[in-house]
Homo-oligomer: A and B are copies of this chain.
């Protein structure tokens, strides 16, 4: 069994930004030399999230507006007076999955034809870390 861990740090210009990090995951896979196994992609912050979906700018805008509709940002939360973080971002991180476990085969991520690994920054403008963990052989 071989195990490889990679940590990437992102800092977005805006509070809200969706990043396609599939190339970063592919680079970590290539660096690991592991050809077959599982890949965990895990944001080390709960005011960000991670999901697999199609990367189409209209769809990503739909996802962003939908998250704001179901879990509005703003001060009307119990969490807010005690913390600088936005409770809405934490709720949205739960709504939009939060992590992904992927399959690796023949040295490549097994994703559907349109699927991409999307990191959704929900409370950005500061450094955030994402863990990519590869386990296999």
Interface, chain A (partner B; CB < 8 A): 1, 3, 5, 36-38, 40, 42-46, 51-54, 56-59, 61-63, 66, 70-71, 77-83, 85, 87, 90-91, 93-103, 105, 110-115, 129, 131, 133, 135-137
A62 touches B37 (CB 8 A): no
Copies in the complex: 3
Name 25 interchain pairs, CB-CB below 8 A, sorted by A: A3-B37, A3-B136, A5-B105, A43-B112, A44-B110, A44-B115, A45-B115, A46-B54, A51-B98, A52-B98, A53-B90, A57-B78, A58-B77, A58-B78, A58-B79, A58-B83, A59-B79, A61-B79, A63-B91, A63-B94, A95-B95, A97-B97, A101-B101, A110-B131, A110-B133
Known: A1-B1, A59-B90, A90-B59. A42 touches B135 (CB 8 A): no
Min CB distance A130 to B, Å, is 10
